[in-house]
Every structure is written in structure tokens, then in C-alpha cells.
Structure 1
């Protein structure tokens, strides 16, 4: 996938309006609409009880202190208890339901993001730091919850409270109520201005969090290098800079949030003080009763709390929308191109590279591969040799379609690889690289990794025996059930390599890619594993990348690459007799031991 597609995705996300982002976010709430409706109902009932309190003040005060009404005196405490019981029960239902939905939305988004990560092209991982990707799944997605759920319910609940209280105020004195609403446009302007600042600060905070995660991930993974080369001070300083950056962005949010509510409350207080003054003046002329006066003032005072919450909800909204941009940016990134319709089944293994060109950047004039033409009949072992950067690993990475050729094509049994489905193509390929990948699971699980079936232990043992791995597996405390640790940290380099080879043996694919498969082995282990590989490669198409020429002398053909081009092809003996690039590499490599003696 060309890099410009990723940047285009980012531009598209930034061009989305807040309403578009929010509608898309609510789409993840839609599957749980019944629970959401229950939450809304609970919030509405809870909100409806709020205006009842000031409304109860007028008859209670006038009926008890003025008219001495026995019925009002007896019923008022009961009404208060009923109101608070209903309010508490409805509030619990609404809050619990919205919390349940929020957690479900986070889980759904994380699952969708993780599935997307598994489907992204290799080039995406080349261009994005691991820590930033982890931060999206661990931090950014949690910021979305409030915007998707709580913001809606709080807004609905407090809007009902405000409408109810305003309705009661209009009933008591519509002229004074209209006067207090003059401040509404001022409050709206303040909220809009501060919301922009909150959104910007939230974006910066998420980026800073990604940088922190990346620093932690690198320092933990490379802790031996950090210690050995004295990088503790450098890493500490780098972590401090990112942490301090996050602190500054968070304080920007805190400043905007802290200023938001007091400013709005001050504007509301101005309106409230004016209205209360006018009400007091009316009470002097007996235009209102004691109960009516206290009821009006209580309703005005109770308005400040929901206005405060509605104002504060902007902070959660902007933080959630900024996080939604980050989440949807990942979800909208194009997956690997998989338009192939042909399911090849088990391939014979005839590979052909035809007029192949490749560069990592579509607009990069520097080509990594140029005009590569190579036919590999089924069952043949072909070794790729050359100096570092000659294009050996790149050529091998094109076979499983980790990358797409810039020009030319690769065929398998006459089928263009682009016509094959990725699943059927990769089912025919096994890979053993110098960077052994093991998972924090048992030895058996690592050998049987990726098998879409229950693998009998006998098959796992047979593969391990063929890879000369059972000799050390038997010595482990739990044998095949022993946990290997993160990235196989509990195993030596040679042991990790042999487990990876056992995994390839168990897969039994017709095409093998061996990228320095014996590089981590000592001489004794290399001898055993080389014998196992030679047995494994019989009858299979094998593409072997090697720097140590002694390991590929028996290959059917040796392809010598230089600056992305094939410069020589032949057997070991033929290339030595030709006295070209291969012969020169051979002389340099085999003269090194004598030179160091």
C-alpha cells in the first residue's frame, strides 16, 4: 500500500466535522440500543424529579407556615421520601446501564482495532512506531467512552432538569425568567471558544502518550543494550521530555476546563443576582408569597448545577472526539490488498520472477530491485547471496506478498501472485528467519502455532526431533509444556532457532524461505540443524538467504545479487570457476579465519 494512502487517511480524518465523528461514534452504541434506552429512561426519570423539589417548596411553606394546613404538613415528608427514592433508583439504573455500554463500546473498538492491526500491510508497520500503535489501543480508545455514552445521557438528563426548572420559573414569574435567559448566548460563546482549545490539547496529549509508550517499549525491549552502553541517562532524559510534554498538554486541558465552569457560573451568577434583587423588590410589594419567593430562588440556584455539568461535558466531548480521530484513523487505514480470487490449494512450487522492479517508496527513484528475472522449478533449492543491502531479503519478502512489486510480476505455478488469495498463498509458504519470533506460551504451542486444527503431540514431537530440538526440550522442567517467556527469553539463541525450524517442519509447506536460518547456532547445533534442513528441503522449493557461504554450497543454484540486480547464477563449483563476484566473496570469507590467527 503506497505511503500516500496513509497520509490521505489522516487528512480525511482531520477534515471530518465534530458531528460526523460523533455520529460515527454513536454507531458503536447502536447494537446496545435497548440498554441505552433503559439508561436514558433512568436519567429522564431522575431528571424529572429535580424540578419537583422547588415546586414542593411553595405549597409546603405557604401551607404549613402561612395557612397551617394539616394535610400539607402530613403529606410533605412522604412526598420528599418518595421523590428521593424514585430519584435514587432511577439514577442507579441509568448510571449502571451507561457504564455497561461504555465498557462494551471500548471492547468492541479494541477488537476492531486489533483486527485491523492484524490486517495492515507490512509497509504500515515500517512507517509507524510500535509504542504509538499500542497507545491507540490502551489509552486513546478509553478516552472515547465518555463521548460515546456519558455525554449523551448527562446532556439529556441535565437538559430535562433545565427545561423543568425553567418551566417552573416561567410559571412563577415569566418576565424575570426571560431576563435571566439573556445570558444564554454569552454562555454558548464561552463554551465554544474553550472547546476548541480542549480539542487541540487532547490531540497533543494523545501524541505525547504514544511517545511515552514508545520510549518505555524500546527501553524495556533493549534493556541489555541500554545497560551495556550506559544509556540510562539518555533514556531517562528522553522519558522526562515526553512526560513533561504530556504534563504541559494536560495542564492546558486543565486550565481550559478549570476556566470553563467558573466563567460560565460567574455569568450565571450575574443573571441570578439581578433576578433575586428584582424578586426581593416584588416581595416587598406583596406581588409574591414567601413560598413563591423561596421556590423561585431555589429553582434559580438549582439551575447552576446542571448548567455546570452541561458546561463541563464539553471537556469530555472534545477529549473523546480527539481520541475518536486517532481511533478511526487506524480503523480507516486500508488493509492489505487481497483481491485475489484463486485459491490454489497445495502448490507444486514453481516460482518465477519476471522483469521485477521494487522500491520501498512509490516516489523514490532509488530502486531496491531492478529487472530481476529468475525461474525456480518446483523442488529446487536456490540460494541468494551478496553483500548487505543487495536486495536478498527484499526479494524473499515479495514471495509471501509482504510488499508488492513496483513493476513486473511473480508467479506461482503459472498464477500471478496478485491473482491468488493471501490465505491460499501464505498457506503454501513456511518462513524461518534470523529474527526468531516466539510467543509467551509453551514450547508445544510455539511449534504448532497457526495450525487451524488440534495438533497431536506425536506430530509436534516428530517436528521437534527433525529440528534436533527434542534433546533440549526433554531437559526442560515441563518438557513441551514449558513456557518459553516473552520472545523466548528463557531459551538460548540456538534453541529458539530450532523451535522456529520445527514450526516450519510441522507446517509442511511446499515453499520454504530460510533467511539466515542457522545464523544463531553454534557449530555442533548447526551441523545437526543443517542436516535436518537438507532433509526438509527435499522435494520442496527452497529460497535460502545466507551470508555464510559454507551453508549453501550444496544448493542446486546460487544466485549472486549486487545493488538489486542478479549478476551471477550457477552452482558452487561453476561460480568458483567463473572467478567473478561469488568467487571474490568466497575468498574474502574463507580468508578471514586465517587473517585473525
Structure 2
């Protein structure tokens, strides 16, 4: 790996947790390629069968024996190649399954790591995730996992065909192999400038697609403003311009990619023809004697392998660029290689008991100093003066740069997140509900506390939301996507109710009644 760029090595570190499966898949690929190296022997056997002649009746005893020998030869060769084709089919199935399985596992690891980083990063505490990250999570991870699964072994298969075909050709016809190697070298040099242009265009296409995601995300989350500003037509034109920019880049890439494949196809076919021509000339001149059919097949393998590697190289450059951007923003590589992180993946997960009933847990952080219990403080100040920042500090969402904060007898810098889950409820300015049931939303974050029907009803009545919960079908009814079926006041009352369920030591309210009428 020392010959690879830093970005390429970074990408390949993703596969380390799956190295055993990669070794298994590589062995299957090698065995599969080896089986194909035996395929030219079919032509030798067929040629031998063509030399047989069956005697017509009436037959002498000797002629009957000769005919029987011919039938036996046909039967033995048919049986041999039937077994061969069966083995090839079985290995192909197993090889293909392993590739897709690796694609799924790598994607699983990447999505889990990315989601974990997005949730944990303090920079996103209490904020919506940018559209660019959603684009990474959905689109880019799929491209990376497919490359590290199917495409990587597509390139390996090309390498094996190139090496195997060259080796067999070198053994059978040394002079012909030199012609093939010279042609491949010339084609490779000719394609270097084109590959660089393709990589640059692919990066431009990816950036343009990311910009479209961010633009549409921003606009669709500000529909009320767009309506009030009467900007429908303007936004449609702006988005159309974004699409035009992306389409222009994609169109240039399509032309260059088509040119690449077209030239590669033409040069590959021309190369195969000239290799065959050279083989015929070498045989004609008596410089060497070999089966032109077998040698042509090996030359075809060399051409197939070379073409596969050229395609693989283009994909490699694109994916390396994409992953480098993601890792720079989210530092995924270190997390994916962590033993603690990998130990929890691909194992049966325990059932979520957050809504199972009043299963109470022992407090890990019992309050030592309750002198503040029952007191109410109001924090007043101008917009931008830092009120929400101060509340984030108290709720443990942000750590102070200097000094320390104590609560209930504990230094907040030395406690785990479990302290805040046990003792703090925080109703932020951002009002959000999950696209689940009322019960799920009220129980979320209150695991280990009294989640009985009676306690949920008591808290719902305190927050004045029990009435509309019952009107909409009860606790087990769905609230709709992000609570879109509810009014702003109803959403806010549900969030207040959720904060009351665990009877917290500290209840933090940041403009908690902004949308409540009374």
C-alpha cells in the first residue's frame, strides 16, 4: 500500500474489519479466474473430436470397436466439460454472493458510523443536520460500498484475467505475448490524459449534485416564507438554473465517458485483431507453432482484463475523492477501525423496552444537594445575548471553555450523559416530534422511569394535551410525519408533556410556550 496515495490508503482502511471475508472473496475470484484459464482446452478437445470418423453399416467387429471408442470419447469429454461448467456456475454464484454481501456490510458500517458521528457531534446539538450530510449518508455511502464490494472485485478479476492470460500466452506463444504487452502499454499511455479529465469532471458532478440537495433542502424547509414572499416562480427559476448547471456537467461527463469507452472498445478490438494477425504470421513463418484458437482466447482474456482495469481505475479516482471529503468532515476512518464500535455491529440487538411499561431503574446519579429544588429562575436578555447558549451549558449540550458548572452536587464536566438523562429535561426552541405514535414520543428519553398509562395521562393533563391525544385515537395513534398533522401549539404541549414524564430535578424551558395560546 506504500505506492498508493494517502487518500487511497484512507479508503482501503474501511475494509480492515472485513479482511477475512475479503480474503475469502479474493480466493474465490482467483479460483474462478483459474477455471477460465482452462476454457481454451475445450477447443483442443473439440478439434480432436472432429478428427473422428464413424464407420457406416455393415460393420466388422474391428469397426464396431472403433465406433464404440469414438462414442466413449464423446461421452467422456461431454461428462468432463459438464462437470467443469457446473463447477464454474457454482463458484460464480458463491463469488457473486460474497461480493454483494461485502457491499452490504461495508455500507452497513459506513452508515452506522456516519449516523453516529452526526448524532454525537456537539456542533449539531439541537440543530438540524445539513442537507449535504444527508446526501453523504444516502447517496455517497451507496456508491462507496458498491465500489468496495462489487467494483473492487471486478478490478481484481480484471487483474487475474490479465495476468493469467498473459502467463498462458507467454508459455504457449512467447513472441505473441510480447506483441500483446506492447499494445497494452501503448493504449495505457494514450489514455492517461483522458483519465485525468474524467476524474475532474466526476468531482464537479458530485459537487453539483450536493449543491442541488442543499438548495432543495433549504427551500422545502421554508415553504411558508416562500409563500408569504410570493417567490414560487423565482424559486422555480433558481432551482432550474441549479439543475441546468448539474445537467451541463453531467452531459460533458457523459460525452467524455462515451468517448473513453468508444475509443477503448475500438482500440481493444483492433488490438485483438493485430494480435491474431501477428500470431498467424508467426505460424506462417515457422517461427513458432501453437494453437491459434487457444492463443486468441488467451489474448481475449488479456484484452478483457486490461479493459476491466481501465474502468476500475476511473471509478477508483471518483470514489477516493468522495470518501476523502466525507472523512475530512466526519472522521469516520478512526471510528470504523475501533474494536468497541465493531463489536456491536451485525449482532442481534436487544428489544427496545422504552414503551414496555413502568420498569424503573436505580438512579446512577442520585441528587446530593437539593437546595435548588422547587425554585424557579427566569433568564432575561436581548436577542443574541447568549441565553440559549447558557441553557445548553446547563443541560450538558455544550462544554464550557473555562470554569466549571455544578448541579445537584455534581461537577457537570465529570459526569456522563446518563446524569442528564436522569435529572434534566430540556424543552428547546426547536420543536420536533418523531413520525411515530404519541406514546413513543412521550416515552422517548424517559427510559427507566414510570411509563405507565396512568403517569402518561397525568403528565398529559398537566400539559393540557390529553384531550387532543384522545380525540386523535389515543396514545398508540400516529402523530404523522414529524407531527405535521398537529398544530404548533399541540406539538409544543406534547414536548412539554415529554419533559414532565420523568419528574426531573431540573426542568429547562427555552421559549417553551411560544406557540401555546394560554
Q: Which residue of 2 aligns with 1:178?
A: 178
Q: State the partner residue of 2:225.
A: 225
Query: Which structure dedicates a bigger proportion of its chain to strand?
Result: 1
Does residue 515 of the first structure (1) align with residue 516 of the second (2)? no
For the Cα contact (< 8 Å) 2:152–2:312, is it kept in 1?
Answer: no
Report Cα offsets for 1:384-439 as digits up to 9, x if no partner. Answer: 22332333223222212333344444332464432333331453221223432221
Relative distance call for 1:168 and 1:59 in structure 2 (3 A) is farther
The residue aligned with 2:427 is 432
DSSP-derived class of the 2:508 partner: strand
Residues in 1 aligned to 2:256 and 2:313: alpha-carbon distance in whole angstroms: 11
Map 1:97-108 → 2, pairs under 5 A = 97-108=98-109
Q: CA deviation at 1:280?
A: 2.4
- Whether 1:294 and 2:280 are equivalent positions in the alignment is no
Aligned residue for 2:414?
419
**Distance (whole Å) between structure 2 residues aligned to residue 210 and residue 491 of structure 1:** 32
- Please tell me whether the aligned partners of residues 7 and 324 of structure 2 are also in contact (alpha carbons under 8 angstroms): no
Q: Which residue of 2 aligns with 1:111?
A: 112
Question: Is 2:476 aligned against 1:475?
Answer: no
Q: SS at 2:185's partner residue?
A: helix
Partner of 1:505: 500
Say which is worse superposed, 454-463 or 399-408, in terms of deviation: 399-408
Kindly indicate whether the alpha-carbon contact (under 8 Å) linking 2:126 and 2:430 is maintained by their aligned counterparts in 1. no
1:109 to partner: Cα distance: 1.3
**Offset of 1:43 from its aligned partner?**
2.6
Counterparts of 1:273-284 in structure 2, within 5 Å, are 273-284=273-284
Q: What's 1:329 paired with?
A: 328
Query: How far apart in 2 are the matches of 1:262 and 1:79?
Result: 39
- Could you list the runs of 5+ residues in structure 1 that have no partner in the other structure? 1-14, 336-342, 351-376, 527-597
Contact 2:272/2:299, CA 8 A, preserved across alignment: yes
Alignment partner, residue 349 of structure 2: none
| Distance change in 2, residues 1:418/1:205 (3 Å) | farther
**Post-superposition offset of 1:495:** 1.7
1:204: how far off?
A: 3.3
Aligned residue number for residue 244 of structure 1: 244
SS at match of 1:430: strand
Change (3 A) 1:129 1:205: farther
Match of residue 15 from structure 2? 26
How much has 1:160 moved relative to structure 2? 2.5
Q: CA separation of 1:346/1:318 partners in 2, compared to 1, >3 Å: closer, same or farther?
A: farther
Cα 1:272–1:238 change in 2 (3 A) is same
In 1: Cα distance, 2:181 partner to 2:116 partner: 50
Separation in 2 of the partners of 1:345 and 1:326?
44
Q: 1:445 and 2:440 equivalent?
A: yes
In the alignment, which residue of structure 1 is the partner of 2:367?
A: 346
- Trace 1:29-44 onto structure 2 (pairs within 5 A): 29-30=18-19, 33-34=20-21, 36-44=22-30
- The residue number in structure 2 matching 1:307 is 306
In structure 2, distance between residues paired with 1:211 and 1:129: 15
Superposition map of 1:12-91 within 5 A: 17-30=6-19, 33-34=20-21, 36-58=22-44, 60-61=46-47, 64-65=50-51, 70=70, 75-91=76-92
Tell me the equivalent position of 1:121: 122
Aligned 8 A contact 1:434 1:520 in 2? no
Kindly tell me the number of residue pairs found equivalent between the two proteins. Answer: 470
The offset of 1:284, in angstroms, is 3.3
Matches within 5 A, 1:129-278: 130-190=130-190, 193-269=193-269, 271-278=271-278
Distance in 1 (CA, whole Å) between partners of 2:382 and 2:98 is 63
Superposition pairs of residues 358-377 of structure 1, within 5 angstroms: 377=372
User: Displacement of 1:181 after TM fit?
Assistant: 1.0
Question: Unaligned stretches of 5+ in structure 2?
Answer: 55-68, 336-363
Kindly indicate whether the alpha-carbon contact (under 8 Å) linking 2:180 and 2:299 is maintained by their aligned counterparts in 1.
no
Residues 66 and 17 from structure 1, CA distance in 2 versus in 1: closer, same or farther, beyond 3 angstroms? farther
Under a length normalisation based on structure 2, what TM-score does the superposition of the two structures give?
A: 0.80
**How far apart are the structure 1 equivalents of 2:168 and 2:382?**
85
1:466 match: 462
**Residues 42-101 of structure 1: per-residue CA shift (max 9 Å, x gap):** 333332232323233245336634999947655554444343332222112111221122
Counterpart-to-counterpart distance in 2, 1:438 and 1:16: 45
Corresponding residue SS for 1:383 = coil
Equivalent pair of 2:15/2:106 in contact (CA under 8 Å): no
The answer to whether the 8 Å contact 1:136/1:326 transfers is no
Question: 1:16–1:416: structure 2 CA closer, same or farther, 3 Å change rule?
Answer: farther
In 2, Cα distance between the equivalents of 1:206 and 1:244?
Answer: 14
Mapped to 2, the partners of 1:229 and 1:105 lie a distance apart of 45
